[in-house]
Structure 1
Amino acid sequence: MTDTAWSVRVAAHELAHALGFSKGSMEEKSILTSGHIVRGKVRKMVAGNHVQKKAKAHFGCDSLEGMELEDEGGTREQAIPHWKERHARDELMAPIVGAGYYTALTMAVFADMEYYSVNWSMAEPMGWGNGTGCDFLEKKCNATEDLAGKYPHMFCNDSDKETLRCTSDRRYVGTCTAIIVENEGSPADKDFCPVVSSYFHEKSSGIKYNTCSDKGVNYLPGSLTGGDSWCLDAELLETKDGKHKSVKGVCAQVLCAEGTVKVKYLGNTDNWHECPEGTDIPVTLENFEKNGKIKCPKYVEVCTIAANGSSLVIPSVLEDDKGEEQEEQVEASVAASVLSPAEEPHAAASSPGQPYAEMPFPRVQAASQQPREEIKAQASTAEEPYEEEPRAAASFTEESRAEASIAGKTSEAPVVQATLQQPQKESKAGQNATVGESANTEHVSVDSNSHAVGEATGDGGTVCEVRLLPSLPLLLGLWGFAAL
């Protein structure tokens, strides 16, 4: 995931706030609730019908009453709603800077506002929290036995701060030096959830390394960095310089083609190597004492977000509201099959060891044979195709009848079509826009490497105008935004 992709998702996050992911909009639509006691504290939740349904499907918890909002930090941070980092760290509306997946969880919020129509088929799969069950949501990290063993793709063992690992979104190589903190103001109830830091600190040089996509990174043991690189799990033992006794994550270039993953890795950059899910690639690296192996990832982990930030999920036609039920069923089947955060995936929360069903490849568009090319996808409505340069119209109520239009960069794969459902029978123009991601960080790092909200891009606030019905088309995306 490149810096361009990161920027697109940050912009999409902020647009989502402007389009209604705000405290005022949620309260106006009566989907924001409080009074739920979870993990020993009263929590605020978004509990609309769509949100409940999608949250239950994602986490695999039928008793779930809604999606918790982040309640750590100061007054300002709590005034701007974000999903609980502990539950949705890699999601578009998480309070930290990450992959920013456009999942059904955020789409559901807009669906519950009733003036948006959501194309559920465009939801991106997210491994964080998927299929973890009610225990993950109800128990504290401190009270969970072998937390890192149970959820290895989410949490880590902070007793080992030297081993290099992949972050949950596979953007970085890092170490177990960051912590998600809950109930920070109450020493007796304080909870710690160790996670892999987004930054790797090479002590001898004092340099902090960033993403796998950064070509400027010239020292990460066993890694090949660049625009199409992702962090893959590995088993490499002890570098010859003795600085790292164990390397369990390396950057490798990834090519997505026809539902398969191919990789190039350090030491063998001339050819692409097929890397089927669940298999290993033996590697011989000159800077290591022994040979090792790179573990092949799930297709959806590295083939969902393009280098330019657009989504590789193939759009489906959104004809009318009659198709919603069928689209929800398709999305639910995808949620059930996406990567589990546990090393031993759970088909059900109470049944460890059972593998997930395969993720249907047609859901994700195979990337071009040229990894750096933009991926172009087309979507059409029931009557006509999306225009090359879509325009969105914003309509106000009768009290303010001004019209505005915005022309955006071509959307490579339109995601969510939002239409204002007006009392008058006005003609509906096909609309296509996009929403994305945030640079909000409540991430607490042991070595103070995490970015706070104000240190990154931050949230500039929310747009909540009672008399203004947000008819701006919700793309939940910037899905095809082609950055210059």
Structure 2
Amino acid sequence: MDWLKVILISLLWILIQSEEDCVHRPPTPEEVVFDVKLDNDLNFTKRSVHEKLRIKTIIDGSIRNLPYSHQTLINTLVNEAKAYWENALKVKRSVASTIRLNRQCVKNMVMYAQGSRYCSENCSPQTRCGDFLIPQNHLDRCYYYDQTTGQLRSSGQAGPGVANADFILYVAASSSVKCQQAKTIAYAAHCQQEIVLDRPVAGYISICPNAVSTRSHDRTQLLSTMKHEILHALGFSAGLYAFFRDRNGMPLTPRSPNNNKPYLIDPTYKFYVWSDRVMKEVVRYGWKTANGRKDRNVRLIVTPAVQREARRHFNCPTLEGAEVENQGIYGTSVTHWEKRLFENEVMTGTYTQNPVVSRVTLALMEDTGWYQVNYNMAEELEWGRNLGCDFVFKSCMDWMDTHPPPSMDMHPFCKEVRGGLLKTDCTRNRRAVGFCNLVEYSGPLPPEYQYFTFTSGVQWSGDYRRLGGAVELADYCPFQQEFIWKENNVNARDSRCSLPGNTPQGSYNLYGEYYGADSICVNHGAMWSLQACNRLIQPKHSGSGCYRYECSNTAGLVLYVNGMSYQCLKTGQRIRVRYVSKYYLHDGYIECPYCPDVCQERGVLCPKEVVPYDIVNNVQDLYIPCSAKSYLYNSSGVYLLFIVNLLCTLVYYFNS
């Protein structure tokens, strides 16, 4: 019955794209406590100097209710995320280094007198920061207006506060309503701001317990989520845009003389409205869709450093700034970079693959007026790099239509519809296996997101209005995307080449793959075939795989398939690979990538390309495995591949 067990197990595997959403909701003014006094005597705008940011984490007791392995993982990753931002940001600091937070007021009733904040009635007995109850010893005295006597008073004792800190981060595990939303891992926001420059000095991050996984391939996603959420609390939030300052410490948004706050509060979303020196709306003329051309309004962060870095990244000297997300509620839109233009930037609104902190995100933190930025901490964002003004000013349909392969490069978009055969490809940097996420939805997409017609060059016989990329926030533009395998609704492995745990085991390793630190993605020149007991079996997914590689000045690029070495002599060279495993006779090809693209980062100078030669010898000596055991594994493997592809197709239709 072992063969039946293998088949049943195979039914549990589903191939899906990895996508997790951010549910950051900017806090309203009523949810934020303002005017925390760090140092009454120091004029931050002129006299203070920048020092390394110090984030003090306070772990809530709810974390200790989690399994020990989850506690350890959360503590480790929070510290890693904290260390990243501490190394990336410097803050203006006073001599005093202790933060005492302000108390919340009863009914949030606040008044200002003599340049200070007072509660109109009295202080609340408890002060919260998001889901976190702030300890009394972190709080200052209660300052309030005594309505009986008409005097300004204070009561209680000031706590010792939090020493040696520039920002207090409260960390909790929460099973809140937000965590019950699909795909939510964590959420965060700031909760108190200081009085001189309005910089956030306290915030929280709530981690959804059910989203915590100790699997190695989930670690990157959890860490990037923590970096992302902490940055919302530090400054990247629609609730803070109106408080940004220029390099001289002057507000970019005009202030009321009564309370030194911005004049206007948005009547719908209840946060302070920023000026067009921070964000501006512009028109993109002649935006192309399948329904013709129409003008489109977009919003961009237009502060100086962001504008500089956006122009530099896209190689577009007339770009006004960096476009922000246009979809979703305020919490997804406006508070993240536009997914279509910044796909795997860590501060887009949904996690899809290989997240990086780019110079554009660091530039926004510089433009808050609160931080000095270490650009050496920026990571390389390949998406959109040097693609020019057409890439940012025009729709992805325009880009795909004007960059038809093979004469031109359509990257980063694609036009291959998911069908019966799962055709995989390599991501641009060859760090993972991916596939084109162009799928059919259950109904027509909104007209502004319809990009395909019968003249689009897409092999499709259905309703073109239902075709679109699987990531909504990318304006439904299709692109090559990494993916994950799930078993029993749990992430089993993903498609990154660098993780050893992603190597398929036993009969599932159809292409002699090896995943590890020295592996890259390589395309297959043609579909592979498998033989067992004189039966020819064609796999239901094909196109690329991860393989170990070596670089040398003499041999150039050498690839390893099933432990055997194959020297690449020329770009695009197709090398035939034949070998026998315990389960199959494997027969296929690998296609050599451009040697400098792979080896240059290792400091290797590739030799001159030469005419390839046939490196496969004695192929007649290979036998076809035909034991009962190998045949049963083979059958289950084929069943697995068929079911995976079928389920994957159905998942996209119904989930959409």
CA distance in 2, matches of 1:87, 1:256: 33
CA distance in 2, matches of 1:124, 1:275: 30
Is the Cα–Cα contact under 8 Å of residues 34 and 44 in structure 1 kept in the other structure? yes
1:173 paired with 2:433, answer yes
2:359 maps to amino acid: A
1:53 paired with 2:308, answer yes
Is the Cα–Cα contact under 8 Å of residues 72 and 78 in structure 1 kept in the other structure? yes
Matches within 5 A, 1:384-463: none
Residue 232 of structure 1 is matched in structure 2 by 521
Give 1:168 deviation, angstroms: 4.5
Residue 345 of structure 2 is matched in structure 1 by 91
Q: Could you tell me which of 478, 488, 495 is aligned with 1:194?
A: 478
CA distance in 2, matches of 1:196, 1:155: 7
Q: Could you tell me which of 268, 292, 312 is aligned with 2:590?
A: 292
Give 1:22 deviation, angstroms: 1.0
CA distance in 2, matches of 1:126, 1:276: 30
Deviations 1:140-177 (A, max 9, x none): 12233155634444222224653211234645423323
Is the Cα–Cα contact under 8 Å of residues 278 and 301 in structure 2 kept in the other structure? yes
Deviations 1:196-224 (A, max 9, x none): 3433779xxxx986223243633365362
CA distance in 2, matches of 1:223, 1:24: 51
Give 1:61 deviation, angstroms: 0.7
Q: Could you tell me which of 508, 522, 545 is aligned with 1:250?
A: 545
**Alignment partner of 1:284: what SS?**
strand
Residue 37 of structure 1 is matched in structure 2 by 283
CA distance in 2, matches of 1:178, 1:209: 22
Give 1:244 deviation, angstroms: 5.3
2:240 maps to amino acid: S
Residue 424 of structure 2 is matched in structure 1 by 164
TM-score between both structures, scaled by the size of structure 2: 0.39
Structure 1 window deviating more from structure 2 (64-73 vs 94-103): it is: 94-103
**Alignment partner of 1:117: what SS?**
strand
Q: Could you tell me which of 267, 284, 294 is aligned with 2:562?
A: 267
Query: Which protein, 1 or 2, shows the higher relative CO under an 8 Å CA cutoff with sep ≥ 6?
Result: 1
Is the Cα–Cα contact under 8 Å of residues 232 and 297 in structure 1 kept in the other structure? no
Name the CA shift for 1:78/1:166 in 2 (closer, same or farther; >3 Å): same
Is the Cα–Cα contact under 8 Å of residues 572 and 591 in structure 2 kept in the other structure? no
CA distance in 1, matches of 2:414, 2:548: 25
Give 1:73 deviation, angstroms: 2.7
Name the CA shift for 1:13/1:201 in 2 (closer, same or farther; >3 Å): closer
Give 1:25 deviation, angstroms: 2.4
Give 1:237 deviation, angstroms: 0.9
Unaligned residue ranges in structure 2 (runs of 5+): 1-215, 245-251, 253-276, 288-294, 452-475, 531-536, 580-584, 605-647
2:523 maps to amino acid: A
1:217 paired with 2:504, answer yes
Structure having the larger proportion of residues in strand: 2
Is the Cα–Cα contact under 8 Å of residues 50 and 109 in structure 1 kept in the other structure? yes
Residues paired across the two proteins, number:
304
Give 1:277 deviation, angstroms: 11
Residue 387 of structure 1 is matched in structure 2 by none
CA distance in 2, matches of 1:446, 1:134: 36
1:71 maps to amino acid: N
Name the CA shift for 1:257/1:54 in 2 (closer, same or farther; >3 Å): farther
Structure 1 window deviating more from structure 2 (219-228 vs 111-120): it is: 219-228
CA distance in 2, matches of 1:43, 1:146: 22
Is the Cα–Cα contact under 8 Å of residues 275 and 296 in structure 1 kept in the other structure? no
Deviations 1:415-438 (A, max 9, x none): xxxxxxxxxxxxxxxxxxxxxxxx
CA distance in 1, matches of 2:574, 2:560: 10
CA distance in 2, matches of 1:47, 1:180: 36
Residue 402 of structure 1 is matched in structure 2 by none
Is the Cα–Cα contact under 8 Å of residues 69 and 84 in structure 1 kept in the other structure? yes
Give 1:234 deviation, angstroms: 1.7
Is the Cα–Cα contact under 8 Å of residues 231 and 251 in structure 1 kept in the other structure? yes
Give 1:67 deviation, angstroms: 0.7
**Alignment partner of 1:58: what SS?**
helix
Residue 73 of structure 2 is matched in structure 1 by none
Deviations 1:24-55 (A, max 9, x none): 22232245323212243211211111111111
Give 1:268 deviation, angstroms: 2.2
2:303 maps to amino acid: G
Is the Cα–Cα contact under 8 Å of residues 427 and 433 in structure 2 kept in the other structure? yes
**Alignment partner of 2:344: what SS?**
coil
CA distance in 1, matches of 2:243, 2:219: 35
Give 1:91 deviation, angstroms: 1.4
CA distance in 2, matches of 1:146, 1:201: 34
Is the Cα–Cα contact under 8 Å of residues 231 and 249 in structure 1 kept in the other structure? no
CA distance in 1, matches of 2:485, 2:449: 31
Residue 109 of structure 1 is matched in structure 2 by 364
Unaligned residue ranges in structure 1 (runs of 5+): 304-357, 363-444, 453-484
CA distance in 1, matches of 2:372, 2:301: 19
Is the Cα–Cα contact under 8 Å of residues 56 and 63 in structure 1 kept in the other structure? yes
Percent identity between the aligned chains?
22
Over aligned residue pairs, what C-alpha RMSD do you find? 4.4
> Which of 1 and 2 has greater Rg?
2
Name the CA shift for 1:285/1:100 in 2 (closer, same or farther; >3 Å): farther
CA distance in 1, matches of 2:344, 2:282: 24
Residue 126 of structure 1 is matched in structure 2 by 381
**Alignment partner of 1:55: what SS?**
helix
Deviations 1:38-97 (A, max 9, x none): 243211211111111111111111110011111123444226x11111111121212232
Residue 58 of structure 2 is matched in structure 1 by none
1:157 maps to amino acid: K
Is the Cα–Cα contact under 8 Å of residues 281 and 294 in structure 1 kept in the other structure? yes
Q: Could you tell me which of 194, 207, 224 is aligned with 1:9?
A: 224
Is the Cα–Cα contact under 8 Å of residues 417 and 438 in structure 2 kept in the other structure? no
Matches within 5 A, 1:301-450: none
CA distance in 1, matches of 2:370, 2:429: 32
**Alignment partner of 1:109: what SS?**
helix
CA distance in 2, matches of 1:69, 1:12: 19
Is the Cα–Cα contact under 8 Å of residues 88 and 128 in structure 1 kept in the other structure? yes
TM-score between both structures, scaled by the size of structure 1: 0.52
Is the Cα–Cα contact under 8 Å of residues 279 and 299 in structure 2 kept in the other structure? yes
Residue 336 of structure 1 is matched in structure 2 by none
Structure having the larger proportion of residues in helix: 2
